[in-house]
A and B are shown apart, each in its own frame.
Chain A
């Protein structure tokens, strides 16, 4: 046991003895110490990081676990749906077939096989493509999954598929003018597709106020009238008077958005928002409403409509002439131009202009479509303009503006912006009061009377209280009115005791049938009646028994013969 001690002592002795060696050893030890400290620190750092990553991870790697998003599944452009969520426009993944001719071994056989599974391909054209020089030829754009499977099964080398995306409109022409369409690169170039291009690209789906069922109904009924009357065009609109939502909007002729090539010319023209028309007698609603609301007349007043009005080179005559004194209700119910002109003159140009402005008839409607026309209004508002505007001539507005203004007349007098986007349930946009509640109530009674007793009898729908006004305006062409071409329209609302919907139908140049003039009451009113009959059960209205109509003359239509105490007469000589 003493030996190691001895050796140790000996060693110490040796270390102590050799000073230079000791120095070298000290240096080595220090260096070792420094190195080990550095290593220890490095290991500590690694250990710390390891604990940080594993124990205190806080989901730092969570991006690895990203769940597949819906957007990735449907590709780029978002869907457009109707108010119930039925898809109106969607983007579908598609495949297109192309070939690399250098890799096709037997072009003849390949062409034979392809023509068999893809009907519609021309064999000689395919053969020419497959034997052509170059390394890329399209054979067929947009294949169905079944066709793709069939082509794959042929097992022809040199054929390949290119993935892409394609905009599809499952309902074709039904809502063509609303939706518009996209170009081959998926950019919206018309209709809502264009207006909301950015939104749809971002992947945010669009929910419209339109109800596809009503839309299909309106298009069907409008189409029948359009064909039956051999008109140049037709426009129709269903509007919710409480919210300003458009439930259906159709314009004929139309196009198939699945084939944008059909949208050229007349077909692509949206008559409801882009067509401006002199509406004719339907404007008398506004004249009567503003005269009643401003206190110019009461329902008991009347005008002399026995003689045509002559102002400079114009003559204002009545179509359904009665040639006598007419009360204010009679002027509307029998649609007297003379009476309306006199009433408008009584109201005055300034007041008329302000009311029409409040109805939204003097400015472009704020609808969410790129295809919107501004109304045509007189540059100088003279008395003759006031008079003609009183019965809807000398001013041209879009059917959409017309329906919006009538909604204001019947809904209690509040103007609300019309929209194509669905408003949240129960939300009523803030409107602006244009007419008093009392005026609106009177106007509703008068509009009902037009259908019960006046020019709009054909708009009656059993069980549903329809009210409205007919309009038949001669078309202006090259500065002259044509007596053989007219714009015939009917704007109706129902149920008249508490209106919910405005239905407007307009036919452009309907042809006379059986020697009977194609007036608004004859061609447009029946379409509104059919539309009401079909749509009412769907929107939750049960038929009600007709209100008791007293036999004999209606109290509001009591003939004003002899003239009442307060009858207004204009001295027109001055004008």
Chain B
């Protein structure tokens, strides 16, 4: 009886220590992975941050204005270029299934979008 319990306990102890051993290494691996992930998140964040600054720089209204003027021949929008639907002589006929134009509350149809533009709110 005594012998059997001893054997049982020795076996249990060995099994448990083996399990603990493997668990410890598993945890260590997870931790390593975690640290690596954290590090890469930081690196990505840093990269995003730099890219955001660059995006802001590239979207500088002055720069965009100059580029649009040089390559596209665009100029700042004038009030004559703005109109409403009522100023259009030919309106799409109200055929069945024809898409209905959803007009904003001001009933405005900007015919040309403004030349310069920043990024919309985040």
- A residues sitting closer than 8 Å to B (CB atoms) are 64-65, 67-68, 70, 72-74, 82, 84-88, 90, 92-93, 145, 168, 170-172, 174, 211-213, 216-217, 219-220, 461-464, 533-534, 536-538, 540, 542-543
Q: Which residue from chain A places its CB closest to the CB of B84 in the assembled complex?
A: A542
Contacts of B114 in A (CB 8 A): 213, 537-538
Contacting residues of chain B (47-65) with chain A, CB-CB under 8 angstroms: 49-50, 52-57, 59-62, 65
Q: Which of B38, B84, B118 contacts A213 (CB 8 A)?
A: B118
The answer to whether B56 touches A217, judged by C-beta atoms less than 8 angstroms apart, is no
Q: CA separation between A87 and B52, bound complex, in Å?
A: 8
Q: Which of B55, B82, B116 contacts A217 (CB 8 A)?
A: B116
Check B24 for interface membership: any CB of A closer than 8 A.
Answer: no
List 30 A–B pairs whose Cβ atoms lie within 8 Å, in order of A's numbering.
Answer: A67-B38, A68-B38, A68-B42, A72-B42, A74-B45, A84-B119, A84-B120, A84-B121, A86-B59, A90-B52, A90-B56, A92-B49, A92-B50, A92-B53, A168-B53, A216-B61, A216-B62, A217-B116, A220-B62, A220-B65, A461-B79, A463-B79, A533-B76, A534-B76, A534-B77, A537-B79, A537-B114, A542-B84, A542-B108, A543-B80
Check B70 for interface membership: any CB of A closer than 8 A.
Answer: no
Q: Mark B65-84, 1 if CB is under 8 A from A, else 0.
A: 10000000000111110101
The answer to whether A542 touches B106, judged by C-beta atoms less than 8 angstroms apart, is yes
Q: CA separation between A268 and B95, bound complex, in Å?
A: 63
- Given the known interface contacts A92-B49, A537-B79, A542-B84, the answer about A87 and B60 at a Cβ–Cβ threshold of 8 Å is no
Contacts of A82 in B (CB 8 A): 118
The answer to whether B61 touches A213, judged by C-beta atoms less than 8 angstroms apart, is yes
The answer to whether B118 touches A74, judged by C-beta atoms less than 8 angstroms apart, is no
Q: Which residue from chain B places its CB closest to the CB of A73 in the assembled complex?
A: B45
Q: CA separation between A533 and B78, bound complex, in Å?
A: 7
Contacts of B39 in A (CB 8 A): 68
Q: CA separation between A365 and B45, bound complex, in Å?
A: 40
The answer to whether B57 touches A542, judged by C-beta atoms less than 8 angstroms apart, is no
Q: CA separation between A92 and B55, bound complex, in Å?
A: 13
Check B122 for interface membership: any CB of A closer than 8 A.
Answer: yes
Q: How far is the CB of B41 from chain A (nearest CB, A)?
A: 5
Q: How far is the CB of A376 from chain B (nearest CB, A)?
A: 35
Q: How far is the CB of A66 from chain B (nearest CB, A)?
A: 8
Check B31 for interface membership: any CB of A closer than 8 A.
Answer: yes
- Given the known interface contacts A67-B41, A74-B46, the answer about A86 and B119 at a Cβ–Cβ threshold of 8 Å is yes
